[in-house]
Amino acid sequence: MESQLHELAEARWFLSKVQDDFRGGKINVEITHKLLEKLDFPCHFAHVKHIFKEHDRQSQGRITIEEFRAIYRCIVHREEITEIFNTYTENRKILSENSLIEFLTQEQYEMEIDHSDSEEIINKYEPIAEVKGERQMSIEGFARYMFSSECLLFKENCKTVYQDMNHPLSDYFISSSHNTYLISDQILGPSDIWGYVSALVKGCRCLEIDCWDGSQNEPIVYHGYTFTSKLLFKTVVQAINKYAFVTSDYPVVLSLENHCSPGQQEVMASILQNTFGDFLLSDMLEEFPDTLPSPEALKFKILVKNRKVGTLSETHERIGTDKSGQVLEWKEVIYEDGDEDSGMDPETWDDFLSRIKEEKEADPSTLSGVTGVKKRKRKMKIAMALSDLVIYTKAEKFQNFQYSRLYQQFNETSSIGESRARKLSKLRVHEFIFHTAAFITRVYPKMMRADSSNFNPQEFWNVGCQMVALNFQTPGLPMDLQNGKFLDNGGSGYILKPDILRDTTLGFNPNEPEYDGHPITLTIRIISGIQLPVSSSSSTPDVVVIIEVYGVPNDHVKQQTRVVKNNAFSPKWNETFTFIIQVPELALIRFVVETQQGLLAGNELLGQYTLPVLCMNKGYRRVPLFSKSGANLEPSSLFTYVWYFRE
C-alpha cells in the first residue's frame, strides 16, 4: 500500500511539472530539451536529439507525454544509479533516512554524517513534497544528489585555503606564467591584455612582462625583436590591478624582463606606484628584514621581480626621498668555468669557489687571475626609482648551485631555462632540492618553443622549483597538469611543498625507483560515462577512457578501458584499475576520454580532468570533464568508484 502511495505521489509530481507544456498536444525536440532543464537535468542538445529520434515512434518530429516520460527515465533513472539505490532500499521505491546515512558512511566514506546532514540532503535534493515530508528519498531525489556537486571527485575541503600559509614564500609551489602577454605564438602572434586577465582568473600568481622603450616616453610590452603586437605598459598594469585579487588574496609577482632605458624605467616605476598604491610592496616588512615573508604576510601585495642595486637597508633609508633622474649601475659577473654542465665534481668545485671567495675578499680586481676562471661581465643602467621597488624578489643570474650556496641572498630569485634545469634535475638532483629549499627558482621554456608549446612541469615540481612558468595560452597536457595541480588549496595559486622538498635532511631523490615513504594503493572503477561530448566526426563515437598518473618517474603510469562502440550518451565499462603510488604528495591523476578513430586518423580528445591524487574523494564519484581549451563540459562526466589506503 505504501509503495502504491509513493508511486502515485511521484506520478502527480511529474504531471504537475510537465502538463502545461503538453496542453497543445505533442512537443518538439527544442521544447523537450527545455523541459528537461526545467526538471533540473541539463542535457547536451545533441544527445537529446538522438534520444528524441529513438522515442518518436511516428517519426513526426513531435512526441506525446508518455514518450517524453520514457526519455526522461532514460536520462534520469540510469541503470547504475538505480542499482545503488535499490541496494539500500527495502522495497526498491523509497530510501529511508537511516538507509541514506548507511549509504553515505559505507559507500561515500562520510564518517561524520548525522541525521541533520541527511535531512539537509533530503531537503535539498528530494523534489517530491510528500516524500520529503516523511524525511525519505525517492529515486528522483537520489539521482539528483548523485549528479550534484556534492558527489564530485574533488574533495570539498581542497576547494578552500586549508594549508598553512605562514611558511616563507620559498616553501610553496607558485602558479606562474611565461610571456603572459601573448595569446598565440612567440613570433607573429598578437599581444593582448586578455593574456593577463585570463591567467589571473585561473589563479596565476607570477606574471611575466617584457618591457621595452616606446614612443612618447611610454614603455611598451611585447616579445622583443619579433613581430608580435605591442601593448602599453600602463594598460597592462591597469588590467593587472583590476584582476589581481579576484581569484586569490595572495601576492602577485610581476616578473619584469626589463629592456628599457633609465628614463622609461622611471616611468614604469611611477606607473606601478600610481596604479597599485598601497598594494605595491615598496619596503621590507619590519618582521622580515632578513628572511622571506609568508604568503599570509603578503596578502593583497604586488611584488616586483627585477634587477636591483644595493641592499634592502639602503632602499629603506631612501623611502620618501626624490629619486627622479637618479641612475644606478647594475653589474653582473658570470663565471663560466666550473658550471655543473662542465662535469667538475662538487668537491673540486667547492675548493675552486673557496679560492674565488678568498681572492674576492682580498682584492676583487684579482679575481680573473684565478686559474681556470672565465668570466663575462654585463652592465646596465637602472633607475633608482625602479630598483627600489624590488624587495623580496630580486632577479639574479643563476650560475650554479655551489655559487648560490656561498653568495645567494635570501631575497634573490633565479631563472633557469628548461634544458639546463632538466639536466641538473638528473645529474645534480640533491643539490637542486637543497637549492630550491632555500631560494625561489623559476624555470622557463626554451627559446626554440616559438609555437608557444610547453614542457612537462611535473619534472621540475619534483625537485621543488617554485615557479614553473608555462605558456598559459597553449592547451594540452602540460596546462592540464598545471590547472589540475593548482586546483588544490582553494585555487589560491600557492601550494605548500611537501616535507620531502622542504626538509633537506630527508635526502629525497625523485629519480630513485624505490622511496621509503608512505605509498598509497589506489583502486578506481570506471563504471560509466554520462552524456559524453559528441565527437566532431560522429554523434555516436567509439569511446575509451585512459587513466594517467604523473609524479616521480617511478609513479608515471597509464591504463585504459576497452572501447565502447557507438555510444557517447551512456557507455558502460565497469572496469577496475589498481595503482601503487610511491610519492602521492607529488602525484596528479588525469582522466582522459577519447574517441577511437583508427590508426591513421588517431584518437580525438573528448574531455579530460586532472587533479592531485590526495584531493580525491572516496566512494561513488562523478568526474567532470573539460575540453582541450579548458571549458567545462557539464553535464558530461564519468561515473566512478574510488578507494585508496595509505601504507
- pLDDT tens digits along 129-152: 999 999 999 999 999 999 999 999
CA-CA distance, 518 to 508, in Å (whole number)?
13
Handedness of CA 455, 456, 459, 464 (dihedral sign): positive
Burial-class residue 508 by CB neighbours within 10 Å (0-12, 13-18, 19+). Answer: buried
CA-CA distance, 187 to 452, in Å (whole number)?
9
In the chain (647 residues long), the average pLDDT of successive 10-residue segments reads 73 91 91 92 90 89 93 93 94 90 95 91 96 94 96 97 98 96 85 95 97 96 88 97 98 96 97 98 96 98 97 94 93 59 40 52 47 68 97 95 95 96 96 97 91 95 98 95 98 98 94 85 98 77 96 97 93 97 97 83 90 98 96 96 91
For residue 191, the one-letter residue type is S
CA-CA distance, 513 to 520, in Å (whole number)?
15
Q: From the candidates 55, 178, 259, 556, which is the catalytic residue? A: 178
The pLDDT score that the predictor gives to residue 343 is 36
Per the annotation, the verdict on 435 as an active-site residue is no
CA-CA distance, 565 to 228, in Å (whole number)?
45
List of domains in the chain: 1-151 (1.10.238.10), 169-337+345-360+373-506 (3.20.20.190), 520-646 (2.60.40.150)
208 bridge partner residues: 255
What contacts 66, CB < 8 A, 6 or more positions away? none
Q: From the candidates 6, 33, 44, 223, which is the catalytic residue? A: 223
Query: C-alpha dihedral over 475, 477, 483, 487, to 10 degrees?
Result: 150
The pLDDT score that the predictor gives to residue 348 is 43
Per the annotation, the verdict on 6 as an active-site residue is no
The pLDDT score that the predictor gives to residue 185 is 82
Burial-class residue 295 by CB neighbours within 10 Å (0-12, 13-18, 19+). Answer: buried
CA neighbor of 298 nearest in space, from 240, 243, 244:
244
The pLDDT score that the predictor gives to residue 225 is 81
CA-CA distance, 640 to 150, in Å (whole number)?
14
The pLDDT score that the predictor gives to residue 336 is 53
The pLDDT score that the predictor gives to residue 414 is 95
